[in-house]
Amino acid sequence: MFNRKLRSTALAAALTLSLAACGSSGPANVSADSPSMWALTGGNQANFQASVDAWNKSHTDQSIKLDFFANDAYKTKVRTAIGAGEGPTFIYGWGGGVLKSYVDAGQIEDLTDFIAENPEVKDRYLPSIIKNGQVDGKIYALPNNNVQPVVLYYNKDLFDKIGAQPPKTWDELMALVPKFKEAGVAPFSLGGQSKWPDLMWLEYLVDRIGGPDVFNNIAANKPDAWSDPAVLESLTKIQDLVNAGGFINGFSSIAADSNADQALLYTGKAAMVLHGGWIYQGMKKDAPDFTRGGKLGFTTFPTVEGGKGDPANIVGNPSNFWSVSSKATDSQKAAALEYIKKGMFTDADTQTLIDSGAVPVVTGIESKLDASPDKEFLNFAYGLAKDAPNFQLSWDQALSPAQGDAMLANLDQIFLNKITPEQFVATMNATIGK
Amino acid sequence: MAVSVTTRASRRTLERGPSGWLAAPALVFFLLFAIIPLFGVLFLSFTRWDGLGEITLDGLSSWTTVLTDPITGNALLVTAKIMFFSFIVQAPISLLLGVFTAAGQKYRAALAVLYFVPLLLSSAAVAIAFKALLDPNFGLGPGLGLPLLTQDWLGNSDLVLFVVVFVIAWQFVPFHTLIYQGGVRQIPTSLYEAAQIDGAGRIQQFFSITLPQLKYTIITSSTLMVVGSLAYFDLIFVLTAGGPGYATRLLPLHMYLTGFKANDMGAASALGVILVVIGLVLALLLQRLGGKNRNDSQLEGA
């Protein structure tokens, strides 16, 4: 009797151990005091994994525990974890208002002194990108992957089929809608359930119509900043496009985390998608024939007649960032800074990023980009980022979390035709300063 | 002598029930994980907190925000609709299935196992599977070339609520079927034998014996169904994320999104308190339906 109990206990223990072993990857010398790192699944997952694996192999005493989460799930989880004092050592972020809320709550380390002591860290980055990790002149976050401008992707086969050219102006874009519908193809794919893909439309339209100052005023919390006519016109144009049937059937139930929105483009069900530079990596992996077979086209967002914005302006994510948690132990912080100094953007890292179809945010990579089989897209994205007079960070990250959430919820209502542009403006004006 | 002492002692135990100390562990856990957090939430509902920084007392402002927000009213309405339709759909199906599978034949046992399968899957898995099946571009409809199934099931504000009710029923009917199956098997066969001798047919047996005997089972199952619909969170969160718009944003989901997406813990706590009150009231109302002697054995006099 006792013997049987003992055996089953041993069995359970063995099972637990083997299960636990499945859960962790890489060297087994990660201890409770190892720095932890949370990153996103998707395009850059393999790149982060490769960088950390290489680091852990040569720094067995400073091994990093790496975990991955889906985009939407991560944004919720990390904030809750940090609030509860359980956050990771490396906090993945986008900069902007969300970063500021962490700074205000005293949750992340000021890296200004570290950068002053190690100027080579700062020198590796494109200067226009590193400034997104600053709050009030101090450095709190450092770029960790690739530059991610939002571009207009299109399916060349479908354009050939109807004999059309990618739109250069908003009027041309609207004129394409009935042509594609007639051909039985959805003009645009959109991951509407995730809400943030809707935002890329508003960001570009407002920039093209009113220029960067419209949003700068909103971000600066100026009273009634949402009442700018450019915002109203942009929202009206979005609803015009929705009403014309511009977006694919069922767009409001498509989640971007599942990559279904990109799949619609390369399976020929949708002709175009407005999306971030990061989906090139996903499409390259999921549909290599499409991306390398010359069927994928990409261009900038169309201009709007009479608009004030520079057509070379871009929106998107300058990069993603690492911040270091101020609640980490001293040894975790030391290891984290050591990794930032020596483990990140090694030559191998930069090459892995480029091979995955991404443009690293570091200087002096032109020759490497030219050597890549994806050089067409990489040079396009790199050129966009380098030459843009204004690179606007995604609004949901640039604003405070409360404002960002209200904006996404109301924009969703705009795409569903449940509210008017005027109602949107009034609701959003009420959130200013929150 | 010794025998009569034990008998007296055990009779006394029967009359008074087991020692109150047996409830102590449960009480401690209930206090620790239910009562104390409940008061914590009540306290938070009078504060302003973004989940990261300082918690500041803010009087009734969270309550006014929540009570004047039309989205709260809409969330209540959505919750009530889902509760109502879930009950209407699930109760009769699971009652009939339960009665059907309670009989002894082998094929019924096999069917019972088959019906039980959905309950073994996690809500998240069920939601992901249905999301894929119902996709208007890559799902079941376009895959099989069936135009009837090619609807925008989850993106159409008018349809989506019923799709959600269907998926909930698909997952939870097995559970309630199991409860009814157990209930029917408790009914003494002597009742049916007597009825047969009196010449009652199957349908008359069902309405005169099975249904009345199942009264308390029905109340238990209904309580779980109704109060449970206040907690349908994971399934809907994964399936629709409350959308399109606010079409399936029911109260628990609204509470979660307010707290963890909009980072307004004060308002989310107020919503949590509302949720607790509604749950308690509903549970008490349903228990009342059972009458005063609901805990008595149904077998007495059988």
A418–chain B Cβ distance below 8 A for any pair: yes
Interface contact flag, A253 B243, Cβ < 8 Å: yes
Distance in Å, alpha carbon of A414 to nearest chain B alpha carbon: 9
Question: Percentage of residues in chain B with pLDDT exceeding 70?
Answer: 91
B172 Ramachandran zone, left/alpha/beta (phi>0; psi -120 to 50): alpha
Instruction: Find, in chain B, the residue whose alpha carbon is nearest to that of A253.
Output: B155
Statement: residue B283 has pLDDT above 90: no
Q: Which domain holds residue A7?
A: 2-147+318-363
The answer to whether position A183 is within a domain reads yes
Q: Are residues A152 and A132 in the same domain?
A: no
Instruction: Find, in chain B, the residue whose alpha carbon is nearest to that of A76.
Output: B260
Q: Are residues A305 and A233 in the same domain?
A: yes
Interface contact flag, B244 A264, Cβ < 8 Å: no
Distance in Å, alpha carbon of A76 to nearest chain B alpha carbon: 6
CA B280 from chain centre, in angstroms, equals 13
Q: Are residues A281 and A299 in the same domain?
A: yes
Candidates 3.40.47.10, 3.30.200.20, 1.10.3720.10, 3.30.930.10; CATH matching B40-288: 1.10.3720.10
A245–chain B Cβ distance below 8 A for any pair: no
The confidence band for B6, taking pLDDT boundaries of 50, 70 and 90, is low
Higher pLDDT, A13 or B274: B274
Residue linked to tokens 């408790």 = B186
**Which SS3 state, helix, strand or coil, does residue A419 take?**
coil
Q: Are residues A311 and A322 in the same domain?
A: no
Distance CA A142, CA A422 (A): 39
B201–chain A Cβ distance below 8 A for any pair: no
Would you state the pLDDT for residue B229?
86
Total number of domains in chain A:
2
Q: Are residues A96 and A226 in the same domain?
A: no
Q: Are residues A197 and A277 in the same domain?
A: yes
Would you state the pLDDT for residue B8?
60
Decide: A324 and A89 in contact? Cβ < 8 Å: yes
Distance in Å, alpha carbon of A184 to nearest chain B alpha carbon: 13
Q: How many CB pairs (< 8 A) connect A and B?
A: 89
Statement: residue B302 has pLDDT above 50: no
B153–chain A Cβ distance below 8 A for any pair: yes
Interface contact flag, B138 A76, Cβ < 8 Å: no
Would you state the pLDDT for residue A402?
86
B240–chain A Cβ distance below 8 A for any pair: yes
In this prediction, residues B120-132 reach a mean pLDDT of 92
B52, B134, B261: residue with CB nearest A101: B52
What residues contact residue A160 under an 8 Å CB cut-off, 6+ apart?
Answer: none
Would you state the pLDDT for residue B137?
85
Distance CA A324, CA A64 (A): 13
Q: Are residues A307 and A333 in the same domain?
A: no
* Pick among B253, B257, B261 to test the A interface (most A CBs inside 10 A): B261
Interface contact flag, B155 A104, Cβ < 8 Å: no
Residues of A in contact with B51 (CB under 8 A): 79-80, 83
Q: List the pLDDT tens digit at each of the 434 positions of chain A.
A: 344 444 444 444 444 443 443 444 444 456 778 899 999 998 899 999 999 999 999 998 889 999 999 888 898 899 989 988 889 999 999 998 889 999 999 999 999 999 999 999 999 998 778 888 999 999 999 999 999 999 999 999 999 999 999 999 999 999 999 999 999 999 999 999 999 999 999 999 999 999 999 999 999 999 999 999 999 999 999 999 999 999 998 899 898 888 889 999 999 999 999 999 999 999 998 999 998 888 999 999 999 999 999 999 999 999 999 999 999 999 999 999 999 999 999 999 999 999 999 999 998 899 999 999 999 999 999 999 888 899 999 999 999 888 999 999 999 999 999 999 999 999 999 998 87
- The candidate with the shortest Cα–Cα distance to A179, out of A170, A171, A187, A189, is A187
Higher pLDDT, B274 or A83: B274
Interface contact flag, A251 B155, Cβ < 8 Å: yes
Would you state the pLDDT for residue B10?
62
Task: Label residue A120 exposed, middle or buried (CB < 10 Å: 0-12, 13-18, 19+).
Answer: exposed
Instruction: Find, in chain B, the residue whose alpha carbon is nearest to that of A102.
Output: B52
Q: At A253, which CATH number?
A: 3.40.190.10
Higher pLDDT, B159 or B290: B159
Which A residues in the span 250-279 are in contact with B, Cβ-Cβ below 8 Å?
Answer: 250-255, 260, 263-264, 269
Would you state the pLDDT for residue A208?
97
Distance CA B273, CA B265 (A): 12
A101, A107, A405: residue with CB nearest B262: A405
Decide: B257 and B240 in contact? Cβ < 8 Å: no
Would you state the pLDDT for residue A370?
93
User: What residue ranges in A293-416 does DSSP mark as E strands?
Assistant: 296-299, 314-317, 321-324, 391-393
Distance in Å, alpha carbon of A221 to nearest chain B alpha carbon: 18
- A430-433: long-range contacts, CB 8 A cutoff, minimum separation 24: A431/A402, A431/A403, A431/A406, A431/A407, A432/A218, A432/A221, A432/A222, A432/A223, A432/A224, A432/A225, A432/A226, A432/A403, A433/A221
Q: Are residues A181 and A249 in the same domain?
A: yes
Q: Are residues A7 and A39 in the same domain?
A: yes
Q: Are residues A285 and A327 in the same domain?
A: no
A402–chain B Cβ distance below 8 A for any pair: yes
Q: What are the sequence ranges of the domains in chain B?
A: 40-288
Q: Are residues A53 and A201 in the same domain?
A: no
B155, B240, B261: residue with CB nearest A76: B261
The confidence band for B12, taking pLDDT boundaries of 50, 70 and 90, is low
B124–chain A Cβ distance below 8 A for any pair: no
Distance in Å, alpha carbon of A326 to nearest chain B alpha carbon: 13
Q: Compute how many other C-beta atoms are within 10 angstroms of the C-beta atom of residue B78.
A: 22
B260–chain A Cβ distance below 8 A for any pair: yes
A252, A260, A263: residue with CB nearest B155: A252
Higher pLDDT, A301 or B284: A301
Q: Are residues A123 and A153 in the same domain?
A: no
In this prediction, residues B113-122 reach a mean pLDDT of 90
